[in-house]
Structure 1
Amino acid sequence: MTRVKPVEPAPGPLEGFAARFDDLFTHLAQRRGFREYLTGLLTPRDRNKTLTCLAGAEPVVGSKDPAVQRLQFFLSESCWDPDEVNGRRLELLAADAATAPHPGGVLVIDDSGDRKDGQVTAFTGRQYLGRLGKTDNGIVTVTAVWADERVYYPVHAEPYCPVGRLEGGKRDRGFRTKWWLAADLAGRAAEDGFAFRAVTGDCAYGDIDNFRAALRTAGLPFVLAVRARRGTWARERSAHTPQDAARALVWHGPDAAGDWQRIERRRRDGTCHTWWAAEARLGGWGPQGPTRLVVATSDPATLPDKTTWYLVTDLPAPGHAEGPHPPAGLPELVRIYGLRNWVEQSYKQVKDELGWADFQVRSSLAIRRHQALVHCAFTFCWTDYLTQPPAMDASALERGHFRPAPSIAADPLPATCPELATRTARRALLADPGHHAQTLVAHLVHRAPAP
């Protein structure tokens, strides 16, 4: 039997993480490429994490550097399966008590679009990019993220292929809508043993009847948002939209709440915010039907657009006829959807720090490999973060937009590496999630053996 050749170890604690994937690579060059790619993704840079950046070479002129060419071959030509790498990553998450999925978590369905020039790159096309808020040329990836109040991480991701890239258009046998991909990702997560209380997502998915029907057929509970003005057929004097149904609820102020129930939402900064939630009725949606309509808001009198949620769920109401899933009260439904809001912010920002959209490859296989490697880097950040968590009690605290950034000054870097993780954030919302990606890597490089 041929002896496996040893590979140069990755810096610091990254080697212990990378070594768990060694048996998935058949060649020394693959194991080395895996470590070099992760190291490049995790190291703070002042420019996009293209292949030249990951290899530490000069832009453009350094593209022919041997280190850059090795990473290019590893990503585009080498023989390894990104699904096997992602499967091993999920096994490691499930085996760790700190990150193992449990029935109290949620599965967040979301998609993110990144701008890409040209038409040669796989999955590229003119389509709506939520990050830019407009239609442009780019790539959209549908993602399933598992989360609870303490941890969140991607489970599966699938790039969306625009209709314009298929010969048969929407009639092409390979065409899949975003909601179809999302339902498939949720089913795969359940098959992989990732327990969760419900699938949650914003109105981009909640408004789609076929998506909700697909989840119901698969036996997956959901708590999804719908648009405030999503219309439905009803009698002239009845409510026609979720917002109409909310305005029909009785409210005479905090001391005479009527149909509304007080919900206390406690965030990680220790502050408590009072919200109100109520069961509403719209068409066939209601507390006694197979689908409930729940309204949660910070002010039932005005229903402000930015702090009002209109949620549909197939989780039965307490005290009513039980279905295949345990009943859920209004506080639990607010909690479930509240997790989605935090994940959408922090997860996308950390992906930016790890170079999610900075790849310079063309083929669909290479793009999937890059995404799998970014997910591995993201998982390593959590692994190292939970090994030495900050002095903050996260129990019973809700994730939210107002979570303060952990103090980096409380764990200062040695003076020997002042250049690490010192650049300012590119935008205000980056402070908290950047702690995981940048500060941890600074420690990683500091612990590395001297060259």
Structure 2
Amino acid sequence: MDQRWWGQAYVRGLLLDGRRKSVEPMAARLGVDGNRQALAHFITSSPWDPAHVRARLARRMHKAIGPEALIIDDTGFLEDGEASACVSRQYTGTAGRVTNCQVGVSLHLATDRAPAAVDWWLFMPASWDPTSAEADADKVARRTRCQIPARAGHVEKWQLALDMIDETRSWGIDVPLVVADAGYGDAAAFRLGPEERDLPCAVGVSGRHTAHPADARPVQPPYAGTGRPPKVRYPEPARTMKDLAVAAGKAFARPVSWREGSRPGRCRSGFKRMYSRFVALRVRPAGRGIRKAADDPELPERWLLAEWQTGETEPTSKIGRPGFER
């Protein structure tokens, strides 16, 4: 009962006007209900499973916004000192560099107008996992002080994302399309995940990854009749995604306008529409982790979408990276 009361007080503290959302200033805004120690205890020692709250949130937001996509992302929380769990020197887009921070992997239901975060997990770097070869003794020693359960260990971000997709679907949430940037799309195991779950997906990939053109066909190398027969393989080496898009040529790019932006313009709504040019190719992704049917030597076909902005000499990675769509 006490935890329920302080939960309500904490939410009221978040909603009241005030810039800082940490416990001490929130307690001051709450007046007679602002017991700083009790609020801090609520935050650090809440005993219930948050999945039930997240499930109710997901169902409510699914009904409210009618999501068109499920977006996977991560956010860095800049931290220092020894009191916060899973802080490590790692890259975060929040700062645009490697720094001391926590990283949270999140799942959002979204339309082009309304996103809603409905699931989020804290990423544990390998240095915090006592079973990892990269374990750091000082960080492992801080696990108890940070109240990290003994069973919690390092899991790659892409695997956390797949686990969250499974959790969200278990709540009865329909997933129309999975979307993620190259931080996840570069992992072949992540790209395989939605396919195994029969979910459509569009993910970013770095231009350095390789593929064969869609019309490429594997061949059986000559066999002299001694030893193990050589495996069926593609006669030409795979090319990078960037090279395939460049080979198609700028003339192959098509203009696409997809939604209104935030800048003023001459459109009917008063805002400019988002616009760019894209090359769309059918390719056969290659490299490690790519699976093909046991009875079919051909690699599976996928769409490669590469943004090629007007005035640029090659596809760009500044706004839209090359991506796969199933």
Calculate the aligned-residue CA RMSD, in Å. 3.2
Aligned position for 2:110: 147
Displacement after TM superposition at 1:114 (Å): 1.1
Q: Is the 1:109–1:182 contact (alpha carbons within 8 Å) kept by the matching residues of 2?
A: yes
The alpha carbon displacement at 1:35 in A equals 2.2
Q: Match of 1:197, as an amino acid?
A: P
8 Å CA contact retained: 2:124, 2:155: yes
Corresponding position of 1:256: none
- Contact 1:119/1:125 (CA < 8 Å) preserved in 2? no
* Aligned twin of 2:188: 209
Q: What is the match of residue 92 of structure 1? A: 60
- Aligned residue number for residue 117 of structure 1: 80
Give unmatched runs, 5+ long, in structure 1.
1-26, 253-258, 315-451
| Distance verdict in 2 for CA 1:139–1:224, change over 3 Å | same
Partner of 1:179: 158
CA distance, structure 1, for counterparts of residue 246 and residue 311 of structure 2: 8
Decide which of 5, 19, 23 is 1:51's aligned counterpart.
Answer: 23
User: Structure 1 residues 162 and 187, CA, compared in 2 at 3 Å: closer, same or farther?
Assistant: same
Equivalent position to 1:69, from 8, 32, 37: 37
Q: CA deviation at 1:56?
A: 1.9
Q: Is the 8 A contact 1:57 1:68 kept in 2?
A: no
How far apart are 1:304 and its partner, in Å?
3.8
Residue 411 (structure 1) aligns with: none
Q: Which of residues 188, 197, 200 in structure 1 aligns to 2:176?
A: 197
Aligned to 1:223: 202
SS at match of 1:271: strand
Q: 1:300 to 1:190 in 2, by over 3 A?
A: farther
Partner Cα separation in structure 2 for residue 116 and residue 251 of structure 1: 44
Matches within 5 A, 1:158-169: 158-169=121-132
For 1:35, give the aligned amino acid: Q
Residue among 257, 269, 282 paired with 1:264: 257
**Cα pair 2:75 2:94 within 8 Å, conserved:** yes
Q: Name the structure 2 match of 1:330.
A: none
| Counterpart residue number, 2:119 | 156
Question: 1:232, CA displacement in angstroms?
Answer: 5.8
Partner of residue 34 from structure 1, selected from 7, 10, 22: 7
Say whether residues 1:311 and 2:323 are aligned partners.
Answer: yes
Contact 1:239 1:245 (8 Å CA) reproduced: no
Q: Please, which moves more after superposition, 234-243 or 265-274?
A: 234-243
Q: Secondary structure at the match of 1:31?
A: helix
CA distance in 2 between partners of 1:184 and 1:125 (Å): 23
Answer yes or no: is the 8 Å Cα contact 1:128–1:136 preserved in 2.
yes
Contact 1:110 1:143 in 2 (8 A): yes
Measure, in 2, the Cα distance between the counterparts of 1:273 and 1:124.
37
For 2:95 and 2:319, the matched residues in 1 are separated by: 22
- Alignment partner for residue 307 of structure 2, among 291, 296, 299? 296
Q: Name the count of aligned residue pairs.
A: 268
C-alpha deviation, 1:214, in angstroms = 2.2
Label 1:251 to 1:66 Cα distance change in 2 as closer, same or farther (>3 A): closer
TM-score by length of structure 2 reads: 0.71
| Inter-partner Cα distance in structure 2 for 1:35 and 1:213 | 42
- The aligned residue for residue 188 of structure 1 is 167
Distance 1:79 1:220, change over 3 A: same
Residue 281 of structure 2 is matched in structure 1 by 280
TM-superposed CA distance for 1:282, in Å, is 4.8
Instruction: Give distance in 2, aligned partners of 1:193 and 1:284.
Output: 32
Partners of 2:122 and 2:61 lie apart in 1 by 23
| Aligned residue identity for 1:54 | M
- Gap runs ≥5 in structure 2: 136-150, 214-233, 262-269, 287-298
Name the CA distance, whole Å, in 1 between partners of 2:312 and 2:87. Answer: 45
Deviation at 1:181, TM superposition (A): 0.3
1:152 is displaced (CA, Å) by 1.1
Distance 1:236 1:115, change over 3 A: farther
Return the offset for 1:199: 0.9
> By percentage of residues, which structure has more helix?
1
Residue 289 of structure 1 and its aligned partner are, at CA, apart by 4.1
The offset of 1:126, in angstroms, is 2.6
Q: Partner amino acid for 2:242? A: Q
CA distance in 1, matches of 2:206, 2:271: 31
| Preserved CA contact (<8 Å) 1:128 1:134 | yes
Matched-pair contact (CA < 8 Å) for 1:229–1:242 = yes
Q: Does 1:130 align with 2:129?
A: no
The answer to whether the 8 A contact 1:127-1:138 is kept is yes
1:24 aligned partner: none
Higher relative contact order (CA 8 A, sep 6+): 1
Q: Which has the higher strand share?
A: 2
* Kept in 1: contact 2:282–2:301 (CA 8 A): no
Deviation at 1:183, TM superposition (A): 1.1
Q: Secondary structure at the match of 1:246?
A: helix
- After superposition, the Cα gap between the structure-2 partners of 1:91 and 1:251, relative to the gap in structure 1 and judged at 3 Å, is closer
TM-score, length of structure 1 as denominator length:
0.53
Match for 2:65: what amino acid? T
Matched residue type, 2:113? R
CA deviation string 1:103-143 (max 9, x = no partner): xx111111111122234432222322221122222211100
